[in-house]
Structure 1
Amino acid sequence: MRPAPRRVAAGETLRDTLGRLSTAQKGAAGAPAYSRFLNRRAGRLLAALAFHAGLTPNAVTGISALCTFTGIALLALVAPSWGLGVAVAGCLAVGYALDSADGQLARLRGGGSPAGEWLDHMVDALKTSSLHLALLVGLYRFQPVERGPVLLVPLAFCVVAAVLFFGTMLNEALRAQHGATTRAQRTAGRPSVVRSLVVLPTDYGLLCWVFVLLGAPVVFLWVYAGLAVLTAGYLALAALSWFREMGRLPR
């Protein structure tokens, strides 16, 4: 098979690149609705633009991290307001779209490297925990609501998010190691749309936009706590399913 070009071919338009990207997507099994239908498409456009700009996947990962951690820093350093909410949500959402773009760009250029994949996952691991901890710092510093048990919610969400991220990565590694089909592999059948909608509350992309509500701290905290509870419930049920699945893998 002829390897994909690392540079834009003569005469290739942005539309041509987008067409090639549409055939180089990962599988969508188990992907929540926002990540599957919105973020991946936004990432596809950004990947095509990055390809024409001559950027490398690691450069896109770096830009993604800059956007994401700008939003996270704002949570800890600036008092809650509607303006802050829009800024945080925008930074996180753009960072998430770029997080999708770096992998798509790597596939477009002929495949990523282990170092690039390591960098991508390390950034993901850092943002998964630091987002909730930055919110905790902001709630403690600026006291938009009365201090008390409410400060335990970001701590609990941090633990749940970190375990969910680690479990997802570990599952894929064990499936690949034992020759089972991974979620990233494309299959002949179309992944369930209903399932993508059911697991939407666990979607990081949805969480990004919830921060728009920071201008109404009480409303934000109720919605945020609701996502924390639903994500924790999903993790508990998924962990049982994952354990049974891992038990069926060959030794």
Structure 2
Amino acid sequence: MVVDAYRQLARAQKGHARGAPAYSVYVNRRLGRVLAALAFRLGLTPNQVSIISAVHSFAAIGLIAFAPVTVPLGLLIALLLVLGYAWDSADGQVARLRGGGSPQGEWLDHFIDTLKIASLHLAVLIGLYRVLPESPALLLIPIVFSIVASTTFSGMLLNDLLKGKHAVASTHERGGGTLRRSLVLLPTDFGLVCLVFLLWGWTPGFLVAYSALCAAAVLFLALAAVKWFREIGRLGDPA
């Protein structure tokens, strides 16, 4: 039953990753657990769950780019993004219920994430251009956000790859996170990016909130890049 699968997942949960912000840990993982239990009951594979996540996310991205900018559509976009993010959490949990994932499934998950991150802010660029054609300076915000988000995600993957080659715990190693760290990292949470589209139909409010998240992402990448560079530099040091 769905309830049994949910309880099994709850018992199997490990500590969250050291670099995981609060929404991802305390909201998205739990939403994903519910969806994973349902998917397991329906006999869905982890790859099928990843595709469901992609359908939700890219439906939202299409609406951002091409649909009218209204309050009801903003609510729908936010809902689709939140569900897409939750299904993204569910695919790994389904794999755990089925006895483990596969390299192919991990590749598909990262491939979809990369495409989603690269596309989302470019869709915002198109959407804002349609409602603010005479404010080209504001269009720099989603451009910067797209560059920063893509670079951050690629940097995290590269860090994990290089640390794995040297048998060093990665940024996403389970069990190292704390509540305080998760709250500090909250402004960088993709979940907040999903929720900011609740304001999509109110362009001034959206711009303020979206710009704040962009600034937080820029600051995080600037600080993280220095930290990552030093950590990778120590990989070649003698034990």
Same fold (TM over 0.5): yes
Does residue 136 of structure 2 align to residue 148 of structure 1?
A: yes
Q: CA deviation at 1:84?
A: 1.3
Does residue 197 of structure 2 align to residue 223 of structure 1?
A: no
Does residue 203 of structure 2 align to residue 203 of structure 1?
A: no
Report 1:99-138 matches (<5 A). Answer: 99-138=88-127
Does residue 63 of structure 2 align to residue 77 of structure 1?
A: no
Instruction: Summarize deviations over 1:188-215 as a string: whole Å, max 9, x none.
Output: x6x2211111111110011101011012
Does residue 167 of structure 2 align to residue 179 of structure 1?
A: yes
Q: Determine which of 183, 189, 213 is the counterpart of 2:199.
A: 213
Q: CA deviation at 1:22?
A: 2.2
Can you give the 5+ residue segments of structure 1 that lack an aligned partner in the other structure? Answer: 1-12
Q: Which amino acid aligns with 2:229?
A: F
- Other-structure match for 1:10: none
CA contact (8 A) 1:201 1:227 kept: yes
CA contact (8 A) 2:156 2:171 kept: no
Instruction: Summarize deviations over 1:54-112 as a string: whole Å, max 9, x none.
Output: 00001100110000000000001112111111011001000000000001111211111
Can you give the 5+ residue segments of structure 2 that lack an aligned partner in the other structure? Answer: none
Structure 1 stretches of 4+ moved >3 Å: 23-27
Take 1:125 and 1:92, find their aligned partners in 2: how far apart are those partners? 15
- Other-structure match for 1:166: 154
CA contact (8 A) 2:18 2:171 kept: yes
Report the secondary structure of 1:130's partner residue.
helix
TM-score of the superposition, structure 2-length normalised?
A: 0.94
Cα RMSD after superposing both structures: 1.5
Does residue 227 of structure 2 align to residue 241 of structure 1?
A: yes
Identity of aligned residues (%): 52
Q: CA deviation at 1:174?
A: 1.5
- Other-structure match for 2:7: 19
CA contact (8 A) 1:24 1:108 kept: no
Take 1:235 and 1:183, find their aligned partners in 2: how far apart are those partners? 14
Q: CA deviation at 1:138?
A: 1.2
- Tell me the matched-pair count: 236
CA contact (8 A) 1:25 1:104 kept: no
Give the stretch that moved more between structures: 63-72 or 211-220: 211-220
Give the stretch that moved more between structures: 32-41 or 107-116: 107-116
Q: Which amino acid aligns with 1:82?
A: V
CA contact (8 A) 1:93 1:208 kept: yes
TM-score of the superposition, structure 1-length normalised?
A: 0.90
CA contact (8 A) 2:19 2:172 kept: no
Q: CA deviation at 1:230?
A: 1.0
CA contact (8 A) 2:22 2:182 kept: yes
